[in-house]
Structure 1
């Protein structure tokens, strides 16, 4: 069965504050959909409304065609990680998952399976309050996977994970999508999102800013160009101008060409026996494209009067572990 998350005009107000403003989009199966937005954009509120934790002021959100509170044994429909600390610290990892399993009609053997999947079998009997942030994240992910759901939601899933853990969760989300599941993930870590998501939903100040593929998002919100270096600069300029190609001279001997394929420029150079030292397509990163799109939607701006080259105070030089003793 195809399972989706469908939002239609979803709105949430807190007094005069509009946290989510008329959001309409669909999260589809078979791909990883990234959910992006600046701090205060309404991402967490939106995800809470998806799971029935907050009631919309207006609009509708459906999981597999139903409201969350209409789902029988909801963990078998949708698994979610919103807050890794949302567990009873006095319970062991095993008992935390066992309680979730019993409340949703899930067999005990599944608890053992997900503990193994997330790498917590060795600490299954230890109390959750002693877990590091990364271990808590893994336990939260185990809870999301517990019902073997077709829809999964993750809010900042790589928080506290080491590089191996980040690599693991990235591959896990990709494999879940490859199985035809619906995977919806929110993160501020742009470099990781660029490696994980196939599709992006971007919001700012509660409004939908983009609902498109990763490639289209970057292409539409950034400049793409070809960078060229050659010892025969003047001759190449003549050749490109004759071919109707507009060239930008950067002043450091490098030429930049917008809107042309590097293959075409390379062929022109070869036809005129021109030597190229560099011919490289350049495209903005996801972070650069995101900053460009959301520049007007950032609610909290940081400002500093400290010169860029000024030395850091001692406590910042030594890092967060420095106590000033």
Structure 2
């Protein structure tokens, strides 16, 4: 378990993390989301004792990180896949970590096999691709067989097979009762992986809830209905007190209603339906809706007017 209480980090006048309080619990995958500059990396660094909080407290299984003996046996983390000595082989990189934390040498071969790097175990890490570096970083996180695992952008550089593998691995670790905390910008992947979400913006906590509740609370849900007897269906729905929005595509959008109830109403009045489908926003849409006010860096499709003027017509031609 990871517990944060009033965690705050200031850099001069800049408040990077502002009074964060939440708990990362075992047995589920907890996703950590926020726009660029929200304070996610700073928060994760403070969890691992790499940055000292200005105020507040963070504990790993009830202890401060610097009080953990052999910390890799408590918490394994991947924050930066490039944080390794490029001149060492994959095997020797992990062996150094193992020896510094009282972990048996035999464990090195086990985690190399788990992440699929046995065939390149004796090759120097500086020759690894980004995806191979990610796998080696994950091997380091797993090395101490810890109860808590923390991953920052774990799918960077991985091919589709590798993405499926790390998704399955995280779910498997959580199913074993471990605490799994993962940060990612890939919303589609997070939607398939996380059970619970912690969302921050400009250093502040915006949400701490289940995946299903987060999407429900931060998006519009409705039922889309199509019928060749559209006007009659409209009358029936209005008489039943159902709120209906007419979309430009000819479909009807029913807010606050259940598909089953609408289907039963149509059946009672012998109305033919060509479509009856519940609609809900994706995680990405819900996330964008919640964090719109917290985005620090905004991109624009067109360059500023002064640059367009300086470039002439070249900007349009690419």
TM-score (norm 1): 0.93
Task: Describe how 1:142-181 pairs up with structure 2 within 5 A.
Answer: 142-181=139-178
Aligned residue number for residue 6 of structure 2: 9
Match of 1:303 among 300, 305, 317: 300
- Give how far 1:175 is off: 0.2
Match of 1:53 among 47, 50, 53: 50
1:250 pairs with 2:247? yes
Distance 2:249 2:296 in 1: 37
Mark the CA change 1:274 to 1:312 in structure 2 (over 3 Å): closer, same or farther: farther
Question: Runs of at least 4 residues of structure 1 off by over 4 A?
Answer: 311-315
Comparing 295-304 with 33-42, which one deviates more in the overlay? 295-304
Aligned residue number for residue 199 of structure 2: 202
Distance 1:254 1:128 in 2: 56
What number of residue pairs does the alignment pair up? 309
Aligned residue number for residue 277 of structure 1: 274
- Give how far 1:164 is off: 0.3
1:110 pairs with 2:107? yes
SS of 1:9's equivalent in the other structure is strand
Distance 1:198 1:314 in 2: 45
Match of 1:33 among 27, 30, 33: 30
Distance 1:32 1:314 in 2: 46
Deviations 1:288-324 (A, max 9, x none): 0000000000000011327xxxx99888xxxxxxxxx
SS of 1:273's equivalent in the other structure is coil
Deviations 1:245-265 (A, max 9, x none): 111111331100011110110
Distance 1:251 1:60 in 2: 53
1:225 pairs with 2:216? no
Unaligned runs of 5+ in 1: 316-325
Distance 1:257 1:183 in 2: 38
Unaligned runs of 5+ in 2: 304-313
Aligned residue number for residue 310 of structure 2: none
Deviations 1:14-57 (A, max 9, x none): 00000000000000000000000000000000000000000000
